């Protein structure tokens, strides 16, 4: 038996000011997206923004429903919105932030498992890694180079075709 280990690389920034100019703009866009969150059941706002290869930024926020399983995550709203506005234009980066009136001092919140799988699907479609930036309410940032870092041993198209 071989014991294996998977290591994950990520960058940590103390504040938005420490990030690149491109990243600062994208992080501000995901913060701006919080305003359109529809989250009366969780009171947990999530904002997301996708930077496309054509330089456009497309936003999304979580959209809840009284039938809880139908709640849509901000990341997927942003990605599907981006694809529909600019079909086939690849994604460079996706940024996510959260706002809670109950808990403000949490680490940057990562995308849920389903959103990680959807980001990975776009990586496979575009054959290109998508950077993932996570911004906490208090302004700390974690940055991953690819969905693969958040989804080790990912289930991808190589298993099927």
**Binding site residues, ligand THU, CB under 6 A:** 39, 42, 44, 46, 62, 64, 71, 73-75, 111-112, 115
Which of residues 46 and 82 has its CB atom nearest to ligand THU in the complex? 46
Which residue is catalytic, options 72, 75, 123, 131? 75
Strands (E), 20-153: 44-52, 57-61, 91-100, 131-135, 141-144
Closest separation in Å from C-beta 64 to ligand THU: 5
What are 66's two structure tokens?
């009284």
Residue 75 annotated as catalytic: yes
Q: For the chain, give percent helix, strand, coil, nearest 5.
A: 35, 25, 40
Which of residues 16 and 71 has its CB atom nearest to ligand THU in the complex? 71
Which of residues 1 and 67 has its CB atom nearest to ligand THU in the complex? 67
Q: Which residues are catalytic?
A: 75
């Amino acid at each position: 038996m071989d014991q294996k280990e998977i290591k994950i690389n990520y960058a940590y920034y103390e504040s938005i000011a420490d990030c690149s100019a491109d990243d600062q703009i994208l992080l501000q866009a995901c913060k701006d997206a919080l305003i359109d969150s529809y989250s009366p059941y969780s009171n947990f706002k999530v904002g997301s923004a996708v930077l496309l290869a054509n330089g456009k930024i497309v936003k999304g926020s979580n959209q809840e429903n009284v039938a809880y399983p139908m709640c849509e995550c901000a990341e997927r709203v942003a990605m599907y919105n981006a694809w529909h506005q600019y079909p086939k234009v690849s994604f460079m980066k996706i940024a996510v932030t959260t706002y809670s009136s109950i808990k403000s001092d949490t680490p940057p919140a990562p995308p849920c498992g389903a959103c990680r799988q959807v980001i990975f699907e776009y990586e496979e479609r575009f054959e290109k890694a998508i950077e993932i930036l996570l911004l906490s309410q208090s302004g700390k940032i974690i940055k991953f180079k690819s969905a693969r870092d958040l989804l080790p041993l990912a289930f991808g198209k190589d298993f099927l075709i």
